[in-house]
Chain A
Amino acid sequence: MIPAAFEYVRPTTVDEAVQAVAEGGEDVKVMAGGQSLIPVMRLRLAAPSTVVDLGRVAEMRGVRDEGDVLVIGAMTTHAEVIADPLVAQHARLIAEATETVADRQTRRRGTFGGALAHADPAGDLPAVALALDAEMVVAGPGGRRTVPARDFFVDYLTTTLDEGEVLVEIRVPKLAGQWGVRYEKFNRVAQAWSIVAVAAAVRRENGSIAEARIGLTNMGPTPLRASATEAALAGAGASPDAIAAAARSAAEGTSPSSDLNAQADYREHLAQVLTRRAVTAAAGL
């Protein structure tokens, strides 16, 4: 099918984009790479009156190093993130998860910021942003504000972005020390969404696990941290038994849905198994 008719605006700066959104009326929609938006528009599940296409906003694209923080422009494509040397060096978890997003063609168009702002519970990148304590830089009519990932995701397909706001860039603190990372994803077929996935970053110190950060994909309407497992792992021995014991609490505090792919209890089981695998790999065992 063909999308319903809409007005098309193509700003070239963040300021122009914010202005275009403000002038776009009630049914304005911001388009990043369009890989989620165009399909739903084609199916007429969305019919915005105005589409503000961020594709030509050059300042929103690319990755830069700001000392302790890596700054990823919201319009940086998945393919660019995967190929970026700074991401590979300082935020490898993002590259690893991004490699599993959709398919090759979709990764050429889809963007890091678009995936976060879309906030699909089955999307891979929100849980990674949460696990890495990323911060979202958001521009609106009143200027810019910074929102921690833990406050950014509000509900199913819903973020804290106000109607007039645009996600500009994502600040990812570099991991300092001896960190290992792993993204473990369970899905049925090629290019399918995650049924459950787990993003783990583990810091080892003197043979023990000093700190673990674990993000859960599709274990509720928003990405979640496996807080109980994280607490159990802090200071634990880096052994398969200790990790397996800690992983058993990975689904605590989650609220997974039941759908065609999986029942909630099966998702809880997957969260435990995938957490064990992800932490084991991230710990270098």
Chain B
Amino acid sequence: MARVSMRVDGVTYTDEVEPRTLLVHHLREALGKVGTVVGCDTSNCGSCTVHLDGQAVKSCTVLAVQADGAEVTTIEGIAAPGGALHPVQKAFHEMHGLQCGFCTPGMIMASIDLLKDNPRPSEHEIREGIEGNLCRCTGYQNIVRAVQQAAGEMSGTTDTLGAQA
């Protein structure tokens, strides 16, 4: 067993884990962060995507011990403290960027990571940016629209502030 300490969605947890424990299993089973889901066994689907020290990773392909000392953000940690949805969450809701919803946590976490690097991506760049996430309902059209709307809203806010200044 190894002692592992990590800050998850703003709360620090210290636990004894087996080295073979995957980060996603630690999040779900030890910490109760079941918003992050496991959709495949091959590192392809991306539904387990979380942010590790601010970068999107597939938490099924990271050992919990590797995240020792790290800051982890899951889908459960992105809304505002009062419960207001993150702009990307809101856009997925408004643009109906989901059908069954299983891929949605990973899609949202990957999209936030993409928009951080590229605040105004083209449709092509969005499709490339979320290529690590599979939607088996094949609802990609609305997912792309949701990311576009979120990009507009998130950078639009900046534009408005810039115009006022």
Residues of A within 8 A of B (CB): 1-8, 10, 34-35, 38-39, 41-43, 51, 53, 55, 79, 102-106, 108-109, 190-191
Contact = CB atoms under 8 A, between A and B. Distances in A.
B110 A8 contact: no
B20 A103 contact: no
Contacts of B129: 104
B19 A104 contact: no
A2 B46 contact: no
21 contacts: A1-B41, A5-B18, A10-B65, A38-B22, A42-B22, A43-B41, A53-B63, A102-B132, A103-B132, A104-B56, A104-B114, A104-B130, A105-B58, A105-B110, A105-B113, A105-B132, A106-B132, A109-B57, A109-B61, A109-B62, A190-B127
B131 A106 contact: no
Contacts of B127: 190
A43 B58 CA distance: 16
Nearest to B46: A105
A79 B62 contact: no
A58 to B, nearest CB: 14
Given A39-B42, A106-B132, A7 B19 contact: yes
Contacts of A6: 19-20
* Interface footprint category on B: 20 to 34
B63 A38 contact: yes
Contact of B19 (A8, A42, A79): A8
A104 B2 contact: no
B75 to A, nearest CB: 14
A103 B61 CA distance: 13
A255 B109 CA distance: 42
A108 B56 contact: yes
B138 to A, nearest CB: 13
A57 to B, nearest CB: 13
Q: What are the nearest 4 A-B pairs in CB distance? A: A103-B132, A8-B19, A190-B131, A3-B20
Contacts of B5: none
Given A34-B66, A41-B20, 9 more contacts: A2-B21, A2-B22, A3-B20, A3-B22, A42-B22, A42-B60, A104-B129, A106-B61, A108-B57
